[in-house]
Amino acid sequence: MKSIEEIRADFPILSKKVYNKDLVYLDNGATTQKPVHVVNKIEEGYYNTNSNIHRGVHFLSQEATEAHENARKRVQRFLNANKSEEIIFTRGTTEAINLVVSSFGDKYLKEGDEVILSEMEHHANIVPWQMLRERKGIVIKVVPMNDKQELDMDAYKRLFTDKTKFVSITHVSNVLGTVNPVKEIVKIAHEHQVPVLIDGAQAVPHLKVDVQDLDADFYVFSGHKIYGPTGIGVLYGKENWLNAMPPYQGGGEMISHVSFDKTTYNELPYKFEAGTPDYIGSTALAAALDYVEEIGLDNIAKHEHELLEYATQELNKIPGMKIYGNAQDKSGVISFLVGKIHHYDMGMLLDKQGIAVRTGHHCAQPLMQALGIEGTVRASFGMYNTKEEVDKLIAGVKRVAMMFE
């Protein structure tokens, strides 16, 4: 296994100086940095194999098509999907959720039907449902949290009625780090014959996901949060559902035959991939997954967990420290506030010390409302963060706290 020094050497940006200080990058929940393997793959794609895929008879087009389809198989293996046709490339988590909401919602949901979300959802898993509510009059129900910011599973069970038609819940909260019991969530929904979408944006970079074991009907994630490129993401869907659902966007590639009288649609996965796909991004995403699996998700999880435990223990020693998210099962994310210091001031003053954290509502305003705050400071860890960086964060937070004393 690679040492942490070797891993860090794979990410050139980590040796950057900001304000003449070593960059301490603790904003991995927003996006991760990219190893040379991924950037090289993008360069190689554009320099060596670039050609529009699927429709070409020539050598380059066939090579590019093969690379794109191999990337699909790579994602299939990564998620342990049953078939590569169940892997749809999208622009990211947001587009994948919008696809399901639009396509499934158009066909299967009608006025009065109920969809279950949770209090800790990212806006990407709230707003598309609200837009569907405006179009169709569906009802959104919300699973509350307990005082450790875990989902209240008894309340979840009580939300089901004979009108419940869909459950859409995050695997890991981007604000709290809470790892939700998604296997149980799916099992309970299936007892009511209700399909489930799991938002895996904050899960796949940190823990091993097996969609068949979870029995999720849909599972979505973004490339850029798992050391891959921006602009590419994944929708996994069970073949039966994807076959039954109508296309999301119309255009080239998603058709089988077009005439002005009637158009027939292509088979999976192409039915859901209108237009030229990001075939360079897909191959670079596959390189990112290779990289992650070479390091090993178990090793990554263990390392990030050590950082989380250490950071939590030390931050909690700071007077006025309040950490939001105290779940038993938690990933490497710490949201906090210190006394009355505004999250934005804390973020700016940490930045001046070279420490990159995120501040604000983290695209989870309903969660902020539930917590009774406007925002938090969030430090989120990746595979390349070190204990020394956590020490810098702690020293930085202490320094800011002293300035406000």
CB of residue 5 to ligand PMP, shortest distance in Å: 29
Select the span of 5-13, 38-46, 199-207, 259-267 touching ligand PMP (CB under 6 A): 199-207
CB-based contacts of 80, cutoff 8 Å, min separation 6: 209, 210, 211, 212, 213
Residue numbers 363-392 binding ligand PMP by CB under 6 A: 363
User: 361: number of CA atoms within 13 Å, CB side?
Assistant: 16
Binding of residue 174 to ligand PMP (CB under 6 A)? yes
Binding of residue 93 to ligand PMP (CB under 6 A)? yes
Residues 208, 297 contacting (CB under 8 angstroms): yes
Binding of residue 207 to ligand PMP (CB under 6 A)? no
Of 232 and 295, the one with the shorter C-beta distance to ligand PMP is 232
Binding string, 105-144, against ligand PMP, x = CB under 6 A? -----------------x-x--------------------
Binding of residue 222 to ligand PMP (CB under 6 A)? yes
CB of residue 272 to ligand PMP, shortest distance in Å: 16
Select the span of 1-9, 68-76, 196-204, 273-281 touching ligand PMP (CB under 6 A): 196-204
Size of interface with ligand PMP, in residues (CB under 6 A): 12
Binding of residue 92 to ligand PMP (CB under 6 A)? yes
The residues annotated as belonging to the active site are 363
Choosing from 98, 202, 282, 380, the residue that interacts with ligand PMP (CB under 6 A) is 202
Residues 141, 116 contacting (CB under 8 angstroms): yes
Binding-site ranges for ligand PMP (CB under 6 A): 92-94, 122, 124, 170, 174, 199, 201-202, 222, 363
